[in-house]
């Protein structure tokens, strides 16, 4: 008994000695957590310009104390869906199965080269994403509106607003809904002059509006738009005053309004009145895309406000580019259209901010992943006008557009700042992006070139004749050609003829010139270069193209010209090794080396590196490397043994 007592006493003393020798706080430290924010389409050169001007203070703090890459190589093609699939899984498109924003349908034997599916479809992702690895390790995950976020998770909550979109945003004006004297209304709101009625539709709902002269408003004439779900003043859903557009216009938006989707389910939209003429002859009312709530654990968010759950997502880019918000600056406008468009971006960012703030405060998380579609959306609109290398560059237009794009980046930095306020000493914060942007001004009609050479044929109605077509640049516009091989439905090119078709295509494309300029600068065969470049695979392309800067492929069949000018804009989807396609990756927090400039970084390196920092298994299909140069602790140089670094054919969750 005494011997047993002495052994217990000795063990206790030994434990106390060890505990005394360990630095204080070690036992109190919990596991490392992470907050990840993805900016879509960040352009490093513009980011540096903003940093020099001191307009991205939160990103500046993140870079100063962390590890930073400004030339990270995206996926091939450098499109959004392949980029984020590779970011989250650590695997290239050849493994993830996501070769574009839309992808060829599988199995090949059942579908032709003309058929495709949404590339953002979670079910098509064949590699395990980072949050699934964290979930399997018992870590709590929150994902907000991120491409490929899950709908099922044992330890997580996924907000998936993009999957809930049930209609388009739009404009209602006096031409589309001509104001008429109001009739058959009950409980008509007070008006100094007789109200005028308008009727318009959002998704499957009909809404009724009244233009009134508010007695409490000193402005003469019609100064208010009342919107109701019926011709009854008791059914009013919004009351709008016209205000000019601008980044400070958020208070002038309606509250979330319930409408019906085409399938009868409820969806949410917001209204904003930008203009109303005092005589009631015209007005400009914008409504956001109606969306349904798609949340993996609705039981955990029942206490959230309608604003948190009523997703918006994007600004009014299509409406702006069509001139429906007014004449754009490049087309002689005075800036009103840009201010209105900028306000739609600001409102979308505000809604994203509110969702993230609520989730960070009310949900349990170890890994928090958030996404914003900006600056990409605005970069598409304006990058082409900011490129001095493009013919026809107008410095005056560029000088007037630049502040608007700067404001979009500043808003994105504000979102980053919001997330950074929730970090602790044990939280890694990462900012990532999926691709860069290039200004383009010319379209290359690849299919017209194929038709002229006899490699693509159409019938009398202009439709593709698969019985006579050997290759096509598909309408999904992924930067690659598809060969109509016999392993596909209605295919005609047998394996023994593939090399000859490839040779003909390569010669045709590389010999094509615009004047003295070679337009297609390289052609990559997925069959011979797929493993090294991560391209091809069952749902990938056959021949991937590299184009001269300033040119983009035109996937239409009926193009009139081989080379056509277009209004300058921003584009991506090109060879990821192009300098214009490179993008950002920043890591900051416990275990991260401070002030480290990273080189030779690829998007597929992010997931393995963050997994290592979090102490969770690397996603099982990852082929990217752990960026050991990121680690402040020399022990980070010794990777944990893991079979997950080897590619797998299994499907991710």
pLDDT tens digits for range 188-246: 999 999 999 999 999 999 999 999 999 999 999 999 999 999 999 999 999 999 999 98
Same domain, residue pair 80 and 160:
yes
352 has pLDDT over 50: yes
What DSSP element (H or E) covers 210? strand 205-212
**Whole-number percent of the chain with pLDDT over 70:** 92
Residue that is last in its domain, among 542, 569, 596? 569
Same domain, residue pair 585 and 521:
no
- Looking at residue 634, what is its pLDDT? 57
Residue 338 lies in a domain: no
Q: Confidence band (pLDDT; 50, 70, 90) for 480? A: very high
Same domain, residue pair 480 and 517:
yes
26 has pLDDT over 60: no
- Looking at residue 151, what is its pLDDT? 66
Residue pLDDT, tens place only, 551-569: 999 999 989 999 999 999 9
Residue 326 lies in a domain: no
CA angle 254, 260, 261 (to 5 degrees): 115
**Whole-number percent of the chain with pLDDT over 90:** 89
Residue 454 lies in a domain: yes
Same domain, residue pair 633 and 507:
no
Mean pLDDT along residues 340-348: 97
What DSSP element (H or E) covers 344? helix 336-362
465: tokens are 């004749």
Residue pLDDT, tens place only, 364-387: 999 999 999 999 999 999 999 999
Contact present, 116 and 555 (Cβ < 8 Å)? no
Q: Going edge to edge, which strands form the sheet with 438-445?
A: 551-554, 438-445, 563-571
Contact present, 34 and 368 (Cβ < 8 Å)? yes
526: tokens are 């997925």
CATH number at residue 481: 3.30.1360
Domain, as residue range, for 528: 440-569
Same domain, residue pair 406 and 525:
no
Single pTM value for the model: 0.92
571 has pLDDT over 80: yes
Distance of CA 653 to the CA centre of its chain: 20
Residue 272 lies in a domain: no
- Looking at residue 636, what is its pLDDT? 43
Residue 477 lies in a domain: yes
Same domain, residue pair 51 and 160:
yes
> Any residues with CB less than 8 A from the CB of 470 and at least 6 apart, and which?
455, 456, 483, 484, 492, 493, 501
Residue 205 lies in a domain: no
517: tokens are 């300029």
Phi first, then psi, for residue 585 (nearest 5°) are -150, 125
444 has pLDDT over 80: yes
- Looking at residue 15, what is its pLDDT? 41
Same domain, residue pair 632 and 589:
yes
Residue pLDDT, tens place only, 85-95: 999 999 999 99
Residue 487 lies in a domain: yes
Residue 379 lies in a domain: yes
Same domain, residue pair 92 and 135:
yes
Residue that is last in its domain, among 528, 544, 569? 569
Same domain, residue pair 159 and 300:
yes
Phi first, then psi, for residue 356 (nearest 5°) are -65, -40
**Structural domains of the chain, count:** 2
Phi first, then psi, for residue 537 (nearest 5°) are 90, 175
Q: Is 267 exposed, middle or buried (0-12, 13-18, 19+ CB in 10 A)?
A: buried
Same domain, residue pair 559 and 583:
no
- Looking at residue 276, what is its pLDDT? 98
- E strands along 335-448, which residues? 367-375, 427-433, 438-445
CATH number at residue 596: 3.40.720.10
- Looking at residue 154, what is its pLDDT? 75
d(CA 644, CA 631): 20
d(CA 241, CA 590): 49
Q: What is the DSSP letter of 110?
A: G
Residue that is last in its domain, among 539, 569, 599? 569
Residue pLDDT, tens place only, 241-277: 999 998 778 899 999 999 999 999 999 999 999 999 9
Same domain, residue pair 542 and 490:
yes
Mean pLDDT, the chain, integer: 92
Residue pLDDT, tens place only, 384-432: 999 999 999 999 999 999 999 999 999 999 999 999 999 999 999 999 9
Residue pLDDT, tens place only, 105-119: 999 999 999 999 999
Same domain, residue pair 393 and 456:
no
- Looking at residue 258, what is its pLDDT? 96
Residue 383 has a CB neighbour count (10 Å cut-off) of 28
């Amino acid at each position: 008994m005494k011997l047993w007592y002495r052994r217990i006493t000795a063990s206790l003393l030994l434990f106390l000695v060890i505990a005394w020798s360990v630095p204080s706080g070690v036992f109190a430290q919990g596991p490392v957590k992470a907050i990840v924010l993805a900016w879509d389409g960040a352009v490093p050169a513009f980011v540096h310009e903003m940093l020099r001007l001191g307009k991205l203070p939160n990103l500046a703090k993140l870079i100063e104390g962390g590890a930073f890459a400004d030339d990270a190589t995206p996926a091939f093609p450098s499109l959004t869906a392949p980029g984020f699939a590779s970011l989250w899984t650590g695997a290239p498109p050849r493994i993830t199965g996501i070769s574009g924003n839309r992808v060829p349908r599988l199995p090949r034997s059942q579908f032709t080269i003309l058929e495709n599916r949404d590339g953002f479809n979670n079910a098509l992702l064949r590699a395990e994403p980072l949050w699934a690895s964290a979930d399997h390790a018992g870590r709590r995950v929150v994902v907000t509106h991120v491409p490929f976020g899950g709908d099922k998770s044992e330890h997580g909550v996924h907000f998936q607003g993009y999957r809930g979109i049930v209609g388009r945003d739009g404009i209602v004006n006096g031409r589309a809904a001509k104001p008429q004297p109001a009739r058959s209304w009950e409980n008509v709101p007070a008006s100094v002059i007789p109200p005028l009625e308008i009727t318009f539709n959002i998704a499957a709902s009909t809404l009724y509006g009244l233009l009134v002269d508010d007695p409490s408003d000193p402005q003469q004439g019609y100064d208010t738009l009342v919107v109701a779900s019926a011709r009854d003043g008791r059914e009013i859903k919004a009351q709008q005053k016209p205000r000019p557009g601008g980044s400070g216009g958020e208070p002038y938006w309606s509250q979330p309004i319930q409408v019906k989707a085409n399938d009868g389910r409820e969806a949410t939209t917001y209204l904003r009145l930008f203009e109303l003429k005092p005589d009631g002859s015209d007005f400009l009312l914008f409504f956001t895309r109606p969306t349904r709530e798609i949340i993996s654990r609705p039981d955990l968010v029942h206490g959230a406000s309608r604003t948190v759950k009523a997703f918006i997502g994007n600004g009014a880019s299509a409406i702006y580019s069509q001139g429906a918000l007014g004449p754009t600056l490049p087309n002689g406008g005075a800036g009103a259209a840009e201010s209105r468009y900028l306000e739609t971006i600001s409102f979308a960012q505000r809604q994203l901010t509110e969702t993230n703030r609520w989730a960070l405060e009310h949900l349990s998380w170890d890994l928090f992943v958030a996404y914003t579609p900006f600056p990409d959306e605005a970069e598409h609109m304006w990058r082409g006008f900011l490129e001095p290398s493009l013919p026809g560059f107008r410095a005056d237009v560029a000088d007037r557009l630049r502040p608007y794009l700067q404001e979009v980046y500043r808003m994105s930095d504000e979102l980053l700042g919001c997330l950074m306020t929730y970090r602790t000493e044990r939280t890694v914060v990462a900012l990532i992006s999926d691709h860069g942007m290039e200004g383009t001004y010319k379209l290359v009609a690849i299919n017209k070139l194929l038709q002229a050479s006899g490699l693509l044929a159409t019938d009398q109605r202009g439709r593709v004749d698969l019985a006579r077509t050997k290759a096509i640049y598909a309408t999904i516009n992924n930067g690659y050609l598809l060969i109509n091989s016999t392993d596909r439905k209605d295919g005609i090119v047998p394996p023994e003829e593939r090399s000859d078709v490839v040779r003909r295509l390569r010669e045709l494309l590389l010999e094509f010139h615009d004047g003295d300029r070679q337009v297609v600068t390289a052609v990559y065969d997925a069959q011979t270069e797929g493993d090294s470049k991560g391209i091809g695979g069952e749902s990938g392309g056959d021949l991937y193209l590299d184009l001269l800067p300033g040119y983009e492929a035109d996937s239409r069949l009926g193009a009139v010209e081989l080379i056509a000018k277009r209004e300058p804009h921003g584009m991506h989807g090109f060879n990821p090794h192009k300098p214009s396609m490179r993008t950002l990756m920043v890591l900051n927090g416990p275990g991260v080396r401070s002030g480290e400039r990273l080189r030779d970084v690829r998007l597929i390196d992010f997931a393995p590196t963050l997994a290592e920092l979090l102490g969770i298994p690397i996603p099982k299909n990852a082929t990217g490397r752990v960026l050991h140069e990121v680690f402040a602790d020399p022990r980070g140089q010794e990777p944990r043994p893991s079979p997950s670094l080897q590619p797998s054919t299994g499907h991710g969750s």
